[in-house]
A = this chain, B = another copy of it.
Amino acid sequence: MTPPVRFDTDPGSYRHLRLEIDGEIARIVIEADERGGIAPGYELKLNSYDLGVDIELHDAVQRLRFEHPQVRAVVLTSGLDKVFCAGANIRMLAQADHPWKVNFCKFTNETRNEIEDAGADSGQAYLAAVNGNAAGGGYELALACDEIIMVDDGSAAVSLPEVPLLAVLPGTGGLTRLVDKRGVRKDLADVVATRSEGVRAKTALDWGLVDAIAPPSRFAATVSGRARAAAARSRRAPGGPGVTLAPLRRSAAENAIAYPHVTADLDRAAGLVTVTVRGPGEPAPPDLAGAREQGAAFWPLAVTRELDDLILWLRANETGLGLWVLRTSGDPQAVLGYERLLTGALHADWLADEIRHFAKRTLRRLDVTSRSLFALIEPGSCFAGALAELAFAADRQYMLNDLSGGDPGGAAEPGPGPASITLSAANFGALPMASGLSRLASRFRGDPGHLAALEKRAGTALGAEEALGLGLVTFAPDDLDWDEEIRIACEERAALSPDALTGMEANLRFAGPETLQTKVFGRLTAWQNWVFTRPNASGPEGALRRYGSGRAADFDRNRA
C-alpha cells in the first residue's frame, strides 16, 4: 500500500525550494532534489517537478501571504545554472495512471492560479526570473507570473515541447495563457507549441512570450529593478505582523480524518464521505488584534486551512469515494459574527483580505473537484454566510423540513431548532467563483431580479419551506421522509458512472461567463484529459511512453 499523499509541509522540510525574504522582496528559488521524487521510479533532473515539488511551491505561496505580510513582490527563479525549470517530470507522467495525472495537473493548475491571485488580490506580484531554459511546465510556471524576465545568453530558450515530444498538451494553462493572458497571436503560439527547441530571448520578446530580456551581466539587476518597481506598485493593505501557519492537527484513521473543526467520515461500502465543518466554539474577538493573538487558531483561518487540506487529501488519496456529503454544525450567528469582524477590516487590514481570498480559493477548489457534492442542511447546522457557500457549491442541496416545528416533543433535552440558511454579504460577491460571479448569481442567471430579492433577506434565518420557495435548496423532505430520501439519493449517485458524473458536473457548475481560470479548467484541462487517454500519448507505442527510449512513437493518423 502506498502511503497517502500529504499536502501540508513547511519551509524547514522543503527538499526542492528555498524561500528567501529581503524586506519587501521575497525569492522562491527552485532547486529540485533529483532523488527527492514523491514516488519512486524517476529523478527530478533539470528542475523538473512532480507533485512533491508543487506541494512545496503551494506552501511557499501560501506562507508568503500569511507569514510575510511585508512582502510586496516575489521573484521566482532557479538555483541551477542555465536551467530555469524543465516542467513536469516526463518519466513520472509516463508511469502515472490516468487519475494520478489528472489530479496532479489539477493541483498544479490551482497553484499557478494562486500565484496570479497573489498578484491580483494580495499585492504580492510574481516575477519569473528565467535564468536558463524554461521548457514545458517550466515555461507555463513563468506564464503564471505577472512578469517574465528572461536571460539573453544566446542559448536559453522558452519552449512548449509537449506536442512535438510527448503528444500531450501544455495543459497547465500554457496554451490558454499564451493567447488569452499574454495576447500572443495564435499563429505564433502555434509555432511555439510545435517547435520542440523553443524560442530564444530576442524572438521571445518580439513575439510577446516574455516581458523583458537582459544579458547575463545585467540580468540580476534587471530582475531586482523590476521587482522593486512591482513592490512600489503594490496596494497590499497594512496591518500587524505575520501569522505563523502552525502545523495542522490532522488525525487520519482507516475510515475517518479529523481536524479540530473539520471531520470526514469515510463510508467505503457506500462510496461516500461525510464532511462536517464545525462553526466557531466561541464568539469572535472584538477586533483584529484579538484575531492576531489567536494566530492560526483564529476560527476562520483554521477552518479554511483544515477544509482546504481535507479536499486535497481526499482528492489524492480517496479516489474511490465519489460522493461528498457536506454538513455543518454550530451556531449560525457565531459564524456571522466572525464575518462581520473581517468584513469591517477589508482593504484596511491584510489579514482580513487574506482570509477572504483564502476562503475564495478553497471554495474554488471545491468547484473544480471531480466528486459529486450534496449538501445536507439539518437542525443544528450553521449554513450562514461563507459556510452557506459550501451548500451553493454543491450539486444539490437537501434541507430538512422539520414539521414538528423544532419542538422536541417527548425528548429529554430541547433540540437545536429547525434547519436554517442565513445569507450575508459573503453570498453576494465577496467569494466569487472563477467565473467572477457569486455562486448565487450563477445559480439564478435565469432570473437576475431574484438576486435583489434574496439580498433583502440577508441576515434572516430562512427555514426549509422558505428556502425551497426561494430556490436556495433542491429538495426539502420532511422528517418522516428525510433518512430514506437521503439514503436513496446517495445510493443512486453511487451507481452512476464516475466519468460521466465528472464531465456532467464540470459543465453544470460553470454557468455564465468564462475567464482565464475557467478556460484552463474547463476547455484546456478537458482536452488534456482526453489527449492523456489516447493511445498516441499513453499507449505502449505512444509518445509519452516511448520518450527517451530512442524509438519514435507510432501514431494512429486518423483525426478525431
Interface residues, chain A, with chain B CB atoms under 8 Å away = 98-99, 102-103, 162-164, 166-170, 175-176, 178-180, 182-191, 193-194, 208, 271, 319-322, 370-371, 394-397, 442-447, 471, 473-474, 492-493, 496-514, 518-519, 522-524, 526-531, 533-534, 536-537, 543, 553, 555-560
Contact = CB atoms under 8 A, between A and B. Distances in A.
B183 A446 contact: yes
Nearest to A543: B497
A542 B396 CA distance: 26
A529 B184 CA distance: 27
B179 A445 contact: yes
Nearest to A530: B530
A514 to B, nearest CB: 4
B396 A191 contact: yes
A186 B508 contact: yes
A507 B175 contact: yes
B500 A168 contact: yes
Question: How many copies of this chain does one complex carry?
Answer: 2
A185 B497 CA distance: 22
Nearest to A182: B446
Contact of A509 (B186, B191, B513, B530): B186
A186 B503 CA distance: 14
Given A396-B191, A557-B320, A183 B447 contact: yes
28 contacts: A163-B501, A167-B496, A167-B499, A178-B508, A179-B445, A179-B507, A183-B447, A185-B446, A187-B395, A187-B396, A187-B443, A187-B473, A190-B504, A190-B505, A193-B508, A194-B501, A208-B446, A322-B559, A370-B559, A498-B536, A499-B531, A499-B536, A500-B536, A502-B527, A513-B514, A519-B522, A523-B523, A530-B530
Residue among A186, A320, A447 with max Cβ neighbours from chain B (10 Å): A186
Given A162-B500, A182-B446, A510 B530 contact: no
B514 A519 contact: yes
A319 B557 CA distance: 8
Given A513-B514, A514-B523, 11 more contacts: A183-B447, A185-B471, A187-B473, A191-B396, A193-B504, A321-B559, A498-B555, A498-B558, A526-B529, A529-B530, A530-B530
A500 B163 contact: yes
A507 B169 contact: yes
Nearest to A448: B183
A143 to B, nearest CB: 14
A502 to B, nearest CB: 6
A559 B191 CA distance: 35
A361 to B, nearest CB: 21
A500 B557 CA distance: 11
A560 B498 contact: yes
Nearest to A524: B507
Interface centre among A169, A508, A522 (most CB of B within 10 A): A508
Name, among A168, A182, A496, the residue most crowded by chain B CB atoms within 10 Å (CB to CB).
A496
